[in-house]
Structure 1
Amino acid sequence: MTATAIEPSAWASDLRPLLLSLRPRFAEAILDGTKTVELRRTRLSAPDGTHLILYASSPVMAVVGTAVLVGRDTDTPARIWRRHRKNSGLLRHEYDEYFAGADLATALHVGFPHRLADPWPLSVLRGTAKFQPPQSYRFVSDDDPAQLRSLVDAGSSRR
């Protein structure tokens, strides 16, 4: 599968945004545009055009930016590596370690990255609502801080 850019006008504003937890190195690479594929050990059921909120895990522990899901590719880890290694930001031994024992791998094609001018630390997010960042990913809920939902609205108006 090859990811293609979709026109911003085709994005549905009613899609629930997805909160992705990333190691800081990978969040930075996505925001720099040097990493366009995020890898997961599970299949993701979110449609193209889903807004992504990027949370950098420890030691950063902050929401650092946004992006858009522009495609998905699920297959065996060996096939995903062959197709997406150049855009994954991983060395082969890191990839093999991450997918050890997994039957499937999913490559999330990420586009339209936007870095927040001021990251939102976990302490600030927890100060406005009960907030727990995900281990991997989860959809943003109505119980999450209002800032998370406003990120998506602001991101839509920037495009």
Structure 2
Amino acid sequence: MNDLEPALLLSVHSRFATAILTGSKTVEVRRQRVAAPPGTTVVFYATAPTMALVGLARIAAVNVGSPREVWRAHRAQTGISRKEFDEYMSGATQASGLTLEEPQPFEEPVPLSALRAAGTFHPPQSYRYLTGEALRPVAEASPSTGAVLSGILGEPVPA
């Protein structure tokens, strides 16, 4: 990744982060259109009680449509019930299904306290794009995670 190819920082509930990183959940749904091309790196921030960066994956495909269309296409891969999906999508006219591949959990999650100590870090409500410049302080916050993120940044991996 370079500064022209941003990563996507996604906030997800802890149980979904675990399911994504173990490969049992391969589609993440969002209430709005996500315009990230296939190949985009996704960095996962697990919300409370974890409150840490926990891993990453790559976007294989993005399916944008009505909530009904996205559910029909991906229900078995979302890791949620129809009831949970309907509650989450209530009032939404558009949805995105992000098909994820190559999940990679971090050896050690990077806690919110370490992220904030390394710079100004605010977890997004849903998602936001991160440039290489924004990922550098995150890479510096944890040695083991820094090695993974340095590879994404296209920088030499620290020894």
TM-score of the aligned structures, taking structure 2 as reference length = 0.85
Whether 1:55 aligns to 2:45 is: yes
- Matching residue's letter, 2:105: R
The equivalent residue for 1:5 is none
Task: Report whether the alignment pairs 1:152 with 2:143.
Answer: no
Describe the SS at the equivalent of 1:54: strand
Give the aligned residue type for 1:152: L
What residue identity is the alignment partner of 2:118? Answer: T
- The letter for the 2-side match of 1:70 is A
Q: How does 1:1-159 map to 2 (within 5 A)?
A: 13-14=1-2, 15-141=5-131, 142-143=133-134, 146-148=137-139, 150=146, 151-154=148-151
Residue type of the partner of 2:150?
A: D
The list of structure 1 runs, each at least 4 consecutive aligned residues, that deviate by more than 6 angstroms after superposition, is none
- Following superposition, the deviation at residue 80 of structure 1 comes to 1.1
User: Alpha-carbon deviations, 1:69-117, whole Å to 9, x = none?
Assistant: 1110011111111110000011010000001111111100111000111
Which runs of 5 or more residues in structure 1 are unaligned?
1-12
Shift of the alpha carbon at 1:152?
3.5
Deviations 1:94-151 (A, max 9, x none): 0000011111111001110001111000000100101101000001143455234954
* Unpaired stretches in structure 2, ≥5 consecutive residues: 141-145
- Aligned residue pair count: 146
Q: CA RMSD in A?
A: 2.0
Contact 2:65 2:94 in 1 (8 A): yes
Secondary structure of the corresponding residue to residue 98 of structure 2: strand
Whole-Å separation in 2 of the counterparts to 1:37 and 1:100:
19
Give TM-score scaled by structure 1 length: 0.85
Q: In the alignment, is the contact (CA less than 8 A) between 1:64 and 1:118 conserved in 2? A: yes
